[in-house]
Amino acid sequence: MLNVEQIRKDFPILERNIAGRRLVYLDNAATSQKPQSVIDALTGYYQNYNANIHRGIHTMAEEATDAYESVREQVREFIDAENSHEVIFTRNATEAINLVAYSWGNANILPGDEIVLSAMEHHSNLIPWQRLATERSAKLVFIPVTEEGELDMEEAKKLITEKTKLVAVTSMSNVLGTITPIKELAKLAHAKGAIILVDGAQGVPHLKVSVKDLDVDFLAFSMHKMLGPTGVGILYGKTALLEAMPPFMSGGHMIQSVWRDRANWSELPWKFEAGTSNIADVIASGKAIEYLTALGMDNVRDHEIEITTYALNKLAELGDIAIYGPKDATKRGGVIAFNVDSIHAHDIGQICADAAIAVRAGHHCCQPLMRDLNVMGTARASFYIYNNKEEVDLLFDALKEADKVLGHVAYR
């Protein structure tokens, strides 16, 4: 198990006080906090070897290039990919998904094809496929969620057919916390000749991932949700697929040879990395991967199960609380979306904020799922490696206060 109190010392922001109260950060599904090693790596680049990569032969350019490309290898190892050229740096998971939709999708989706999604997708893994389906006269098909908050795999078996060209699903719901059976879905997709893309924005920071074991074709995730800086996304893709795909953006760096009337593209992975990269943040992302690797992702997961189990049991003591998603913490991540009595989610968020507790309130970029749940939105607490049971207790106290003040007043 993790030594949470020791871990907390590595995160300077957790020492912050807001209105005389110690910060309780429970908004990790939106973005995680950063350890000092990540912050130091970011400033260290600018202080010591700020230079563009892949272009220069002077000392700092070579140092920056080596540091940047070493992170690509770290990512490869972290997700157990076959080759580092299968790792593409993007701005975020959203851009990674859009890259596949634009490049692979426009070349492969034909009229009448079906794209299978789950009913709990984040807008980032819905809107690109909506647009593609409209442009290509294809059809979106949705795997429903059971009353227990799990993906209905019996329905999945029926919905993934010979018409399916792509299955695009989250690895972990950012609302329900539901962990998707990716390996089983990959088998279903491949058996019908389809490929599978996984939105790993919530899953990769919390679960040990092997793209080889899962046999996924594409995986997208963001470093800022796993201790790294903002502005760095990752797209993993199988070599054969990436090689066949046209570039997503064009310009400098992604070309090999250029004439006035034509150009040849660079080899992987640089074919998909046009322009000057987000060098500093990629380099700092390497320290985030180092940090998580040192902790061990199995330990990260064990801690998450422990604190989520405690939180689910503690919050249930309120009685008039609705908690969404699986009741078993082993089937979900450290994300708990909830509503209390008739209190609007934003009021819950504000009362928590007044107690220096950071939670999220709203539809969480999952408006279709909110309609399925028959709610306008929820409050959401989400945990990570530095959260402890004392913070869950503080959240519980804040929710008791909200219920006391607002719980019996109908919201209008």
Which residues are within 8 A (CB) of 404 and not within 5 positions of it... i.e. 6 or more apart? none
* CA gap 324, 376 in Å, rounded: 13
Under a CB-based contact definition with an 8 Å cutoff, are residues 203 and 301 in contact?
no
- DSSP state, residue 358: E
Cβ burial, residue 354 (10 Å; 0-12/13-18/19+): middle
Cβ burial, residue 226 (10 Å; 0-12/13-18/19+): buried
The catalytically annotated residue of 295, 297, 365, 375 is: 365
Is 365 a catalytic site residue?
A: yes
- DSSP state, residue 178: B
Under a CB-based contact definition with an 8 Å cutoff, are residues 277 and 91 in contact?
no
Under a CB-based contact definition with an 8 Å cutoff, are residues 160 and 167 in contact?
yes
**For the packed helices 297-316 and 389-406, what is the interaxial angle rounded to 10 degrees?**
30
Q: Read off the tokens for 250.
A: 């064009």
* CA gap 117, 141 in Å, rounded: 6
- Burial pattern 106-132, b for ≥16 Cβ within 10 A else e, equals eebbeeebbbbbbbbbbebbbbbbeeb
Please name the helix (run of DSSP H) or strand (run of DSSP E) that holds residue 239, with its range, or none. helix 239-244
* CA gap 176, 159 in Å, rounded: 22
* CA gap 297, 179 in Å, rounded: 15
* CA gap 280, 271 in Å, rounded: 20
Under a CB-based contact definition with an 8 Å cutoff, are residues 394 and 148 in contact?
no
Q: Read off the tokens for 87.
A: 């790792």
What does the chain come to in residues?
Answer: 412
Give the active site residues.
Answer: 365
